[in-house]
A and B are shown apart, each in its own frame.
Chain A
Amino acid sequence: MSDSAHEKSNEGLTRRQLLLVGAAGLAMGSGLLLVPKRYFRMPQHAEAFVAKVDHYQLDVANAITRGIAELGVSPQALKGKRILLKPNLVETASGAPHINTHPLVLRGAIEAFLKLGASAVMVAEGPGHRRDTLAVYEESGLADVLTEDHIPFHDLNYITGYDLPNAGRQSRLKTLTFPGLFREVDWVVSVAKMKTHHWAGVTLSMKNLFGVMPGIYYGWPKNVLHRVGIENSILDINATLKPHFAIVDGIVGMEGDGPIMGDPKRVGVVVMGRNLAAVDATCCRIMGIDPYQVSYLERADNWLGPISEKSIEQRGETIAAVRTNFKLIETIPAHRSLRLA
């Protein structure tokens, strides 16, 4: 999102930061100050699956089906479930299809979930930049695919919402307003794009969930979330919504000045998992980015999920086999120090 500089956060220390300060004080007393704070947290464990998919024309559905199975999601867990797929539809521009989640990745996910027993699959998005959601739906190529597959599409920006207490409590927002549609589904799946981001460092499955917040309450480009802090909002939304699954389209991602003006980057992978923080940390390593240098991931570590490599069981391809360093721009502050050693 390109407006965060104008929605400057007026947050002071968060409750969580205060707790960490307190923990640091205790650590000082016990002589443990030099140990990084991540080691004070309870250990967690998660799995991430990396599928090699060189081109969108290949069998994406098969790769996702295999990933779901290898991640231990049983057909019983999906049987009869209503699945909402949330893609990353940002803007359209001719010659720049790497901005949005590719429609064929969504088709693959739809086929996989239906094959595994889901009773219904729908796609829903509330773009942050375009008020005309249908235009992005059409021009991204998604309308062609969903029309052909008879899959419904919902514009989340205009759906009347319901409030939930803010479970993350990182921003000053006491409640978060989600689209009423979410009460009618069993699983929310973030189907994100692998991109660098000029405010947040990277945008992957966690940041993608900005798009679930209705524009009628949060504005365009989701101004309220920028105002209370992008990182705070990413953590709040994920902690409150508790999404069920993530699929990241890294077949062709975006490097450089993402999330809109960057360049296409061919990686040839689809990354999946049930824990979004772990999936995003894995994506970062594939992109040659240190997840501990991405502020919101570092804060999510061992809270919303593990991000350390040793806590994430890697299935499918190894990170080393597919790692492709994404271009970072030194003049963009959020990109500095991101490079993984």
Chain B
Amino acid sequence: MAGRLGGALHIDSTAWGVLAFRASGGAHEVTEQLCTILVREQDGDGRVCMNRAHPGSYWPTPLAILAWQDSTASQVAQNRAVHFLLNTTGIHFPKSPTEPSAHDPNIKGWPWIEDTHSWVEPTAMCVMALRATGHGQHDRVREALRMILDRQLPHGGWNVGNTLVFGRELYPMPETTGAALVALAGEVDGSEVARSIDYLQGEVDRLRTPISLGWSLLGLSAWDRSPANGLALVERCLGNQDRYGSYDTSSLCLLTLGALADDSKAEKPLFRRLNSKSRPLVAAP
């Protein structure tokens, strides 16, 4: 799928498209076709990059794993991608006493781009993908869950992954908070993330853009704290395209998943309460 109508192939958009199309009850043949495209774009070592010319941009790999979850034809590719993630991490190092940042840089997660530090959102995506494929008890996943908790802001919420720098607490962001809450759901006690749920509940009504709203709805749903007006918020967000122009495919798909997060009639519920004991993220057909 293209990032925008008539545009070039975007790997992340294709993966998001599979997830949204499947969740809304789309035809299996269509999602299989899209999965085949993702398989075709996979590198030999299992990574799935934004662009073959930029092999370091492997952050869509967990998205592809989730997209392949319901595709029997993609199982070999999915296994390769899982193997890649389990054997890949960011740049980590012991915390020095003079370190200006408060978080522990030695706890492993996953980076956006090869050879850089691990951050919250790519780590949350990898946790979702690995839990969905039955690797929830793997050491890497357990460490990544610790890493996400370590990056939680003292007053609640997450940002890219910095808590305090030079003694100042930084601002939280709804999109990262939503992703972190999905990854942690079913894994940690509610008291550990209560302040972040409170933060997101306080924010969700004012969110007008698809990435923030989509992830917030998914995050709150994962903890059974969906707002009663979730669909109205989605409708308002869709209406804002008059103001911002058409949303890109990834944003639209994320918003769709947010809208369906609490819909019991959705064909295959996504990103609900993940279970580390191998409960598939996407139910088998």
Question: Using an 8 Å CB-CB cutoff, how does the interface string of B32-48 with A read, 1 for contact, 0 for none?
Answer: 00000000000000000
Knowing A6-B91, A132-B175, the reply to whether A163 touches B166 (Cβ < 8 A) is no
Chain B nearest Cβ from A292, distance in angstroms: 24
Question: Using an 8 Å CB-CB cutoff, how does the interface string of B189-214 with A read, 1 for contact, 0 for none?
Answer: 00000000000000000011111100
Q: Give which listed residue, A6, A215, A257, contacts B168 with CB less than 8 A.
A: A257
Q: Give which listed residue, B3, B159, B166, contacts A332 with CB less than 8 A.
A: B166
B211 touches A135 (CB 8 A): yes
Closest A residue to B250 by CB, please name it. A158
Q: Which of A202-224 contact B (CB under 8 A)?
A: 215-221, 223-224
Chain A nearest Cβ from B11, distance in angstroms: 10
B209 touches A135 (CB 8 A): yes
Knowing A5-B101, A6-B101, A257-B166, the reply to whether A216 touches B211 (Cβ < 8 A) is no
Knowing A7-B91, A131-B121, A224-B113, the reply to whether A93 touches B166 (Cβ < 8 A) is no
Question: Using an 8 Å CB-CB cutoff, how does the interface string of A245-265 with B read, 1 for contact, 0 for none?
Answer: 000000000000100110000
A227 touches B53 (CB 8 A): no
Chain B nearest Cβ from A197, distance in angstroms: 12
Q: Give which listed residue, B112, B170, B171, B248, contacts A219 with CB less than 8 A.
A: B112
- In the assembled complex, the Cα of A172 lies from the Cα of B211 at a distance in Å of 33
A216 touches B57 (CB 8 A): yes
A223 touches B117 (CB 8 A): yes
Knowing A5-B100, A132-B173, A160-B8, the reply to whether A223 touches B113 (Cβ < 8 A) is yes
Contacts of A131 in B (CB 8 A): 121, 173, 175-176, 211
B171 touches A216 (CB 8 A): no
Closest B residue to A331 by CB, please name it. B166
Question: Using an 8 Å CB-CB cutoff, how does the interface string of B88-115 with A read, 1 for contact, 0 for none?
Answer: 0001010000011100010000011101
Q: Give which listed residue, B50, B112, B159, B211, contacts A223 with CB less than 8 A.
A: B112
- In the assembled complex, the Cα of A147 lies from the Cα of B245 at a distance in Å of 10
A221 touches B243 (CB 8 A): no
Q: Does B116 contact A (CB under 8 A)?
A: yes
Contacts of B207 in A (CB 8 A): 135
Knowing A137-B244, A160-B8, the reply to whether A3 touches B166 (Cβ < 8 A) is no
Contacts of A218 in B (CB 8 A): 113
Q: Does B161 contact A (CB under 8 A)?
A: yes
Question: Using an 8 Å CB-CB cutoff, how does the interface string of B130-148 with A read, 1 for contact, 0 for none?
Answer: 0000000000000000000
Q: Give which listed residue, A93, A147, A152, A177, contacts B54 with CB less than 8 A.
A: A177
Contacts of A17 in B (CB 8 A): none
B116 touches A224 (CB 8 A): yes
Knowing A134-B209, A134-B244, A223-B119, the reply to whether A129 touches B101 (Cβ < 8 A) is no
Q: Give which listed residue, A143, A152, A153, A260, contacts B171 with CB less than 8 A.
A: A260
- In the assembled complex, the Cα of A223 lies from the Cα of B101 at a distance in Å of 15
Chain A nearest Cβ from B112, distance in angstroms: 3
B91 touches A224 (CB 8 A): no
Question: Using an 8 Å CB-CB cutoff, how does the interface string of A1-43 with B read, 1 for contact, 0 for none?
Answer: 0110111100000000000000000000000000000000000
- In the assembled complex, the Cα of A257 lies from the Cα of B100 at a distance in Å of 12
Q: Does B231 contact A (CB under 8 A)?
A: no
Q: Which of B7-53 contact A (CB under 8 A)?
A: 7-8, 10, 12, 50-51, 53
Q: Give which listed residue, B3, B99, B160, contacts A129 with CB less than 8 A.
A: B160
B117 touches A7 (CB 8 A): yes
- In the assembled complex, the Cα of A163 lies from the Cα of B53 at a distance in Å of 10
- In the assembled complex, the Cα of A11 lies from the Cα of B171 at a distance in Å of 31
Chain A nearest Cβ from B175, distance in angstroms: 5
Closest A residue to B101 by CB, please name it. A5
A217 touches B113 (CB 8 A): yes
Chain A nearest Cβ from B51, distance in angstroms: 7
Nearest 10 pairs between A and B by C-beta? A219-B112, A223-B116, A132-B211, A6-B117, A134-B209, A219-B113, A261-B168, A2-B162, A2-B165, A135-B209
List residues of B whose CB falls within 8 A of some A CB: 3, 7-8, 10, 12, 50-51, 53-54, 56-57, 59, 91, 93, 99-101, 105, 111-113, 115-117, 119, 121, 159-162, 165-168, 170-171, 173-176, 207-212, 243-245, 248, 250
Known: A143-B243, A223-B116. 4 other contacts (CB 8 A): A131-B175, A132-B173, A216-B12, A223-B119
CB<8 Å pairs between A and B, sample of 9: A3-B162, A5-B100, A6-B117, A131-B175, A152-B245, A198-B100, A217-B113, A223-B112, A260-B170
